[in-house]
């Protein structure tokens, strides 16, 4: 397969996938003259990619991007008609939940409808977004009606961890599912260039596999967060106990630390799974209450450490991204933390090395209290001299 179009190709999943495919199918390594078009609507990111700048934190992306552009194996564009020339069209736009926590199924369907005038039944169409179970069949039905024949449709979910996609894509097994043996074979052939192993599932099973994975991770964090709040509220030191219970004890090796479980995927995928199970996914809903309740808990902890009121106190949040050493602030709980502090009439200062904020020295010089929002490397080893809360446990030794 020589020509691939990725719709949503400039996003956090589309871009690393595009780089990986361009590297393997493009001129300079594969010798095959393959080409990847990243089709997107975000003009800033399109320009950034075409001028050789990695648009967001993505480890190892710079070198591959430079090579891919130099060899003309990769191009970003808002020209929807580029999809027409592609042998494989990969859709990887967002799949959020709405304000009532129901999946916005129409989002992904509407994007495909937009591109229908440029698509044909000879193309392999791959869904790569995380989709609600059953969406594959709905899209299959819609494309069958539009084409007058069955499409070659596959669902191949992305499972990378954000920011390390370029490295992980080449190491993770790829789950491949499709509506026909032909589509399955073609999708397998394409992903065999970048994935070390292919695993087959039926489309509904693959949809569930991705949601189960993300919900399980979300719940791991929820357990740690619930334990943290329970133990600290009763006046004990959670990390002292965690350290003791896990020392040389193999069954506690993967016990998660507490921390803000946020970002664009884990929460919404747990809610998608909950909607799928008619809102009877009690563990998922309880996990949501726990994880979403942590910001309020840490603000209360700081309040108690500062004499019972934060009114007019200068409180710093260090780290606004949703995960360490990353520039992505989507669905970050640091913003919920900020709202909570503001509601208690604190004077909030924020710092994040990836955002345009006051410098760390300026913020720390003014702060009367500090909350660690996310443990970026810049914050490790800081000596904090005012009351603070660090639910991640990176400062305790220093302080």
Ligand X SMILES: NC(=O)c1ccc[n+]([C@@H]2O[C@H](COP(=O)([O-])OP(=O)(O)OC[C@H]3O[C@@H](n4cnc5c(N)ncnc54)[C@H](O)[C@@H]3O)[C@@H](O)[C@H]2O)c1
* Residues lying near ligand X in the complex (CB under 6 A): 7-8, 10-14, 39-42, 45, 92-95, 111, 114, 129-130, 158, 160, 162, 264-265
Q: Taking a C-beta distance cutoff of 8 angstroms, is the pair 101, 274 a contact?
A: yes
Considering the complex, what minimum distance in angstroms separates the CB of residue 214 from ligand X? 8
What are the tokens at 153? 């449709």
At residue 97, the 3 state secondary structure works out as strand
What are the tokens at 251? 């069954």
Contacts of range 46-53, beta carbons closer than 8 Å, 24 or more positions apart: 46/10, 46/76, 46/77, 46/78, 49/10, 49/15, 49/74, 49/76, 50/75, 50/76
Helix ranges (DSSP H) in the chain: 14-25, 27-30, 43-50, 61-70, 105-115, 135-147, 165-169, 181-191, 203-233, 238-246, 266-276, 282-305, 333-343, 360-366
Q: Taking a C-beta distance cutoff of 8 angstroms, is the pair 2, 33 a contact?
A: yes
**Residue number, nearest CB to ligand X:** 11
Considering the complex, what minimum distance in angstroms separates the CB of residue 268 from ligand X? 7
Considering the complex, what minimum distance in angstroms separates the CB of residue 143 from ligand X? 17
Strand 174-178 to 88-91 pairing: unpaired
Residue 107 or 347 having the CB closest to ligand X: 107
Nearest to 220 by CA among 279, 282, 291: 291
What are the tokens at 297? 């808990």
Residue 265 or 370 having the CB closest to ligand X: 265
Residue 130 or 215 having the CB closest to ligand X: 130
Considering the complex, what minimum distance in angstroms separates the CB of residue 187 from ligand X? 17
Residue 93 or 332 having the CB closest to ligand X: 93
Nearest to 320 by CA among 256, 387, 369, 378: 378
Residue 42 or 357 having the CB closest to ligand X: 42
Residue 73 or 92 having the CB closest to ligand X: 92
Considering the complex, what minimum distance in angstroms separates the CB of residue 334 from ligand X? 18
Residue 192 or 213 having the CB closest to ligand X: 213
Residue 265 or 372 having the CB closest to ligand X: 265
Cβ partners under 8 Å of residue 40, min gap 6 = 7, 8, 9, 10, 11, 14, 46, 76, 77, 78
Considering the complex, what minimum distance in angstroms separates the CB of residue 356 from ligand X? 20
Considering the complex, what minimum distance in angstroms separates the CB of residue 101 from ligand X? 15
What are the tokens at 171? 């190491």
Task: DSSP letter for 385, please.
Answer: -
Residue 10 or 371 having the CB closest to ligand X: 10
Task: Name residue, tokens 């097994």.
Answer: 173
Considering the complex, what minimum distance in angstroms separates the CB of residue 165 from ligand X? 7
Considering the complex, what minimum distance in angstroms separates the CB of residue 399 from ligand X? 33
């Amino acid at each position: 397969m020589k020509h691939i179009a990725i719709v949503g190709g400039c996003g956090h999943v589309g871009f690393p996938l595009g780089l990986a495919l361009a590297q393997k199918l493009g001129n300079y390594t594969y010798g095959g003259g393959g080409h990847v078009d990243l089709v997107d609507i975000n003009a800033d990111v399109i320009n950034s990619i075409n001028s050789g700048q990695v648009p967001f934190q993505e480890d190892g992306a710079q070198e591959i991007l430079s090579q891919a552009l130099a060899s003309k194996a990769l191009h970003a564009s808002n020209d929807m008609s580029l999809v027409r020339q592609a042998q494989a069209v990969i859709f990887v736009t967002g799949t959020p939940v709405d304000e009532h926590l129901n999946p916005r199924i129409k989002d992904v369907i509407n994007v495909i409808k937009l591109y229908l005038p440029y698509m044909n039944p000879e193309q392999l169409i791959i869904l790569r977004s995380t989709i609600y179970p059953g969406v594959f069949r709905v899209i299959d039905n819609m494309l069958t009606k539009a084409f007058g024949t069955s499409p070659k449709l596959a669902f191949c979910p992305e499972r990378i961890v954000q920011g390390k996609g370029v490295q992980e894509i080449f190491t993770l097994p790829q789950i491949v599912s499709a509506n026909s043996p032909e589509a399955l074979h073609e999708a397998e052939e394409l992903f065999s260039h970048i994935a070390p192993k292919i695993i087959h599932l039926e489309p509904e099973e693959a949809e569930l596999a991705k949601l189960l994975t993300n919900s399980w991770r979300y719940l791991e964090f929820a357990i740690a967060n619930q334990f943290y709040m329970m133990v600290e509220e009763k006046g004990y030191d959670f990390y002292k106990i965690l350290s003791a219970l896990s020392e040389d004890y193999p069954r506690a090796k993967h016990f998660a630390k507490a921390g803000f479980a946020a970002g664009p995927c884990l929460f919404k995928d747990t809610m998608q799974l909950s909607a799928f199970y008619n809102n009877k996914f009690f563990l998922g809903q309880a996990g949501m209450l726990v994880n979403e309740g942590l910001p309020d808990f840490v603000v209360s902890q700081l309040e108690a450490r500062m004499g019972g009121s934060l009114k007019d106190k200068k409180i710093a949040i260090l780290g606004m991204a949703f995960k360490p050493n990353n520039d992505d602030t989507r669905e970050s709980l640091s913003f919920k933390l900020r709202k909570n502090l503001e509601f208690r009439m604190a004077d909030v200062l924020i710092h994040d090395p990836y955002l345009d904020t006051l410098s760390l020295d300026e913020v720390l010089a003014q702060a009367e209290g500090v909350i660690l929002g996310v443990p970026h490397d810049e914050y490790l080893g800081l000596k904090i001299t005012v009351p603070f809360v660090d639910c991640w446990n990176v400062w305790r030794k220093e302080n």
